[in-house]
Amino acid sequence: MNSETTQRSKLLTPGNILAAIILAVGAPIIYLRWATGLGAVTNLTDDVPWGFWIGLDVMAGVALAAGGYVIASAVHLFGLKEYQPLVRPAILTGFLGYVLVIIGVGFDLGRPWHVQNLVLNPGLASVLFLVGLHVGLYSATQAVEISPALFEWLNWKRWRKVAVAVTVGATIFGVALSTLHQSALGALLLIAPTRLHPLWYSPFIGLFFFVSSIAAGLAMVTFEGMLSHRFFGPQIDLSHEQFDKLTLGLGKASAIALASYFTIKVVGIAHGDTWHYLLTPLGLWFLVELLGFVVLPCVLNLVGYREHRPGLVRGAAVITVLGIILNRLNVAVIAYNWQLPAERRYFPAWQELWVSLTIITAGVLVFRFVVRRMPIFRPHPDFGSGH
């Protein structure tokens, strides 16, 4: 009797109940989308073919999943061995992030059963072809990079040995692929100079997206670490002091990444001579994005690192994550079609928001399943803290 009630109460945590509600509401929306078409659950129009799902699930999702290549290259290529404990959580977050992106794309596509044409009959002049191909290849690369954890759990020693041997090569390939597809997501808009607002449109938009993806990845690693310490405490091998020390290091790197991003954005304005747009309504919105979500977290990281205050770095990480989401939504939806009259502009349907929430919830549940069973936060007792 006692064990039964404990079992039930273990399952009926507030988190699980919330997740169940989200999924329960999301499932019929997803069914409706497939049964009757996109129009039933979205506010997309002929003028606005790309909306919240592209802006958040795809563009922001890929940027926030960048922690994998950033930490992996820091540890395996640049020799920053002290961040080793963060590698597996970062790659897991990254891999799951990309899987969620692919699922999100699958929902947004009108005819996803034709996706094989990407390989059979590719449009080589298309930036989206690049995005599709490289997201696929990179997801496979991340799967290879996280596979040692899986093999340790399954105790497949030989598979694990092979997977570990290719780690450095996979990391290098992953960085090359990430450089390309992170920037390609921004370059998607290069074809539409008349439709994207001049403060966001730039021939450098690919570079903007790539550099901001580094800041996004670093922030997500910090953010995910915060949440994991809060919710998966028992699984984690790192003490709070050790984690704080690493957090400060991430804060230092984030400060540099955000400062660099700010610099190239300003150069972009100078290059396009778009200063006069800054005092328009959208220009002020641009300044909110740049000052509130790039400069502010940069300063917080700066002070946090100098004064040894990991709390500031964590706050900066949250703001940076929100800033990345804001920037991608601006490029995809808010600053896009900026000259359209008001009645033709777009605001997402609540079902669009809910589907995104459903996808993210599913991802968190999978993350939780994996970290509770596989050597992600702590090394496997038989294999030590290898890669």
Q: Which of 34, 231, 275, 369 binds another protein (CB under 8 A)?
A: 34
Residue 328 as a binder of another protein (CB under 8 A): the answer is no
- Using CB under 8 A as the binding rule, whether residue 191 contacts another protein is answered as yes
Q: Which is nearer to another protein, 7 or 117 (CB)?
A: 117
Determine contact, residues 148/164, Cβ cutoff 8 Å: yes
Q: What does the buried/exposed string (b/e) look like for 344-380 if buried means 16 or more CB atoms within 10 Å of the residue's CB?
A: eebebbebbebbbebbbbbbbeebbebbeebbbbebb
Binding span for another protein by CB under 8 A among 12-20, 44-52, 227-235, 292-300: 44-52
Residue 252 C-beta: closest distance to another protein, Å: 19
CB 268 within 8 A of CB 208: yes
- Classify 384 in phi/psi space as left (phi over 0), alpha (psi -120 to 50) or beta: left
Residue 175 sits in the site that holds another protein (CB under 8 A): yes
List residues bridging with 336 in a β-sheet. 196
Does 168 contact another protein by CB under 8 A? yes
Query: Out of 15, 28, 112, 233, which residue is the one contacting another protein (CB under 8 A)?
Result: 112
The encoded tokens of residue 139 equal: 């997801």
Q: Which is nearer to another protein, 10 or 113 (CB)?
A: 113
Instruction: Give the nearer residue to another protein in terms of CB position, either 132 or 304.
Output: 132
Q: Which is nearer to another protein, 1 or 125 (CB)?
A: 125
Using CB under 8 A as the binding rule, whether residue 30 contacts another protein is answered as: no
Q: What is the DSSP string of 212-256?
A: HHHHHHHHHHHHHHHHHHHHSGGG--S-HHHHHHHHHHHHHHHHH
Q: Tell me the DSSP string of 12-52.
A: T-HHHHHHHHHHHHHHHHHHHHHHH-GGGT----SS--S-H
* SS3 (DSSP) at 336: strand
Number of residues located near another protein, criterion CB under 8 A:
63
Q: Which stretch binds another protein (CB under 8 A): 19-27, 31-39, 261-269, 366-374?
A: 31-39
- The span of 11-19, 22-30, 42-50, 256-264 binding another protein (CB under 8 A) equals 42-50
What CA–CA distance (Å, rounded) separates 317 from 64?
11
d(CA 260, CA 213): 12
Binding region for another protein (CB under 8 A) out of 95-103, 149-157, 188-196, 255-263: 188-196
**Residue 93 burial (10 A CB sphere; 0-12, 13-18, 19+):** buried
Of the candidates 6, 16, 24, 123, which one interacts with another protein according to CB under 8 A?
123
According to CB under 8 A, which residues from 202 to 231 bind another protein? 203, 206
Residue 337 · residue 278 · CB < 8 Å: no
Based on the shown chain and the rule CB under 8 A, indicate whether residue 17 belongs to the binding site for another protein. Answer: no
Residues 333-362: x/- map of binding to another protein (CB under 8 A)? ---x--x-----------------------
36 lies in the binding site for another protein (CB under 8 A):
yes
Q: Stretches 192-200, 248-256, 273-281, 348-356: which one binds another protein (CB under 8 A)?
A: 192-200
Task: Determine the Cα–Cα distance for residues 90 and 164; give it in Å rounded to an integer.
Answer: 17
Tell whether residue 78 is a contact of another protein (CB under 8 A): yes
- Does 180 bind another protein (CB under 8 A)? Our answer is yes
Cα dihedral sign for 190, 192, 193, 197? negative
Q: Give the three-class secondary structure for 116.
A: coil
Instruction: Please give the residue ranges that form the binding site for another protein (CB under 8 A).
Output: 34-40, 42, 44-47, 49-50, 73, 76-79, 108-115, 117-118, 121-130, 132, 168-169, 171-173, 175-176, 179-180, 183-184, 187-188, 190-195, 203, 206, 336, 339
